[in-house]
Structure 1
Amino acid sequence: MSRLKYAYLRALDTKQWDEFADTLLPDATASYGEHLRFDSRDAVVEFMRTSLGPQTITEHHCGHPEIDVDGDTATGRWYLSDLVLIPEHDMALRGAAFYSDRYVRGPDGRWRIAHTGYERTFEAVMSLADIPSFRLTAHP
């Protein structure tokens, strides 16, 4: 499951939407806090694609996995630390959360995410304009 979660995060941060979609089951659900809930892989991918467009820079780190496997299903809890930079709005968001995931191993032997979601422990938003030394020196 570690490899799967890391692929989910890497594909999200690099905006590889087909690869991101392939980490999720077609009927996967997701809940990112109390206001963002999705009932399908397509809905999750579309939200991420439109919300985290090419000018939005994201960095997601997950660690401290607590994974329980029961045959072809599993659950996982992860600690998330994330950073989101939106230069066009002079905004930065730093946060932390605990992910709770459910996984299913398919007939092809690959694990995919059946449900993913997190509860924030904190979220801080700041203006990049308030950080006089801030310079974005590389971004594709």
Structure 2
Amino acid sequence: MTLDDLIAERTITRALTLIARAMDDRDWAALDDLTVPDMTANLGTGELGSRAELVASIRSFLDACGPTQHLLGNVVVDVDGDTATSRAYVSDLHLGTGDRSGVTFQTLGDYHDSWVRHGEAWLLTRRVKHNRGHVGSFTALGPGPEGWSPRD
């Protein structure tokens, strides 16, 4: 492993953390500096073909939800020149709000991400979330997108 690989690994790990914090802070504009516009994703609701679609999908869950916390762990980054892949466990807690106060929903999952070097930055090009399990009621999230199930 080279020093450049170690710096890339650290930069990607930081980007992963900033993405999680952007979701919890509802700072959708922060994703502009962390992802490519034409990124793709599958979070369990079907294929998404752009950053705008990703943000819309995440917002369909989090806009009607109370506070959230996305915790990442066991991060593994593999760098290959100007591209990289990462895997990170995610445990996300969602609290209901309003008439859903006291309702919680938590998932255990695994982010499988692809990255591209852009100058000094590493930008997310693809995210796939593998949902391993959930606890609680997804009503904490509000209605969610049509046809979504936490088992997807």
Aligned to 2:34, which of 20, 23, 29?
23
Describe the shift of the 1:37–1:87 C-alpha distance in structure 2 as closer, same or farther (beyond 3 A). Answer: same
TM alignment of 1:3-42, pairs within 5 A:
3-33=14-44, 35-42=45-52
Deviations 1:19-65 (A, max 9, x none): 023211111111112x2431100111122234312753211011111
Structure 2 gap segments, 5+ residues each: 1-11, 140-152
Q: Report 1:34-113 matches (<5 A).
A: 35-53=45-63, 55-90=65-100, 91-106=103-118, 108-113=119-124
Structure with a larger share of its residues in helix:
2
SS at match of 1:99: strand
TM-score by length of 2: 0.75
C-alpha contact (below 8 Å) 1:21/1:45 kept by paired residues: no
Q: SS of 1:13's equivalent?
A: helix
Give 1:122's aligned residue: 133
Unaligned 5+ runs, structure 1:
129-140
Percent of aligned pairs sharing the same letter? 30
- Which stretch has the larger CA shift, 64-73 or 53-62? 53-62
Task: Using structure 1 for the length normalisation, give the TM-score.
Answer: 0.81
Q: Which amino acid aligns with 1:2?
A: T
Deviation at 1:126, TM superposition (A): 3.9
Report how many residues are paired: 126
The Cα of 1:127 is off from its aligned counterpart by 8.9
CA contact (8 A) 1:57 1:84 kept: yes
